[in-house]
Structure 1
Amino acid sequence: MQCPIDGTTLKIAERQGVEIDFCPQCRGVWLDRGELDKIIDRSTADAPAPRGGGYEERPRRKKRESFLSELFDF
């Protein structure tokens, strides 16, 4: 499968039992229907319970980038 952005051949990574297509060149990520929900469900099951009465702070960009780099080996 080719990257719709730059035409590079997509690579496949498996994380938490979900196959993820990604472009090593532009770092685009493509998921099939329902795969994002599976990843979120499985990652939140492993996450510790929020502190402070259930208030969850919005994730910062650096945290999101770290999460994505762990998933896709960027």
Structure 2
Amino acid sequence: MQCPIDGNTLQIAERNGVEIDFCPQCRGVWLDRGELDKIIDRSMTEAVPPAHGSHDERPRKKKRESFLSELFDF
């Protein structure tokens, strides 16, 4: 399958039983129907609640990049 952004060949990674297509060049990520729901459900069940009074001040973009880097070993 080709990346719709830059035409490179997409690679497939499997994490926690979810198959994800991604472009190693532009780092675009494509999910099939239902895969995002699986990822969200599994991340919610694995998440540890923050300590009392703590608050993550990182911007939303940084959280997404961190999540994707953990998912794909970027």
Give the TM bin, normalised by the shorter chain: 0.7 to 0.9
Q: Relative to 1, partners in 2 of residues 1:59 and 1:45: Cα closer, same or farther, differing over 3 Å?
A: farther
Compute the displacement of 1:24 (Å).
Answer: 0.3
The runs of at least 4 aligned residues of structure 1 exceeding 4 Å deviation read 56-59
- 1:66 is matched with which residue? 66
The size of the alignment, in residue pairs, is 71
Which amino acid is the alignment partner of residue 28 of structure 2?
G
Tell me which residue corresponds to 1:4: 4
TM-score, structure 2 length as denominator? 0.83
Identity within the alignment, %: 77
RMSD: 1.9
Alignment deviations for residues 1-43 of structure 1 (CA, whole Å, 9 cap, x no partner): 0001111000000011000000000000000000000000001
Gaps of 5+ in 2: none
Greater relative contact order (CA < 8 Å, ≥ 6 in sequence): 1
- The alignment's TM-score, normalised by the length of structure 1, stands at 0.83
Task: State the 1:63 CA deviation.
Answer: 2.2
Using a 3 Å threshold, how does the CA distance of structure 1 residues 2 and 69 change in structure 2: closer, same or farther? same
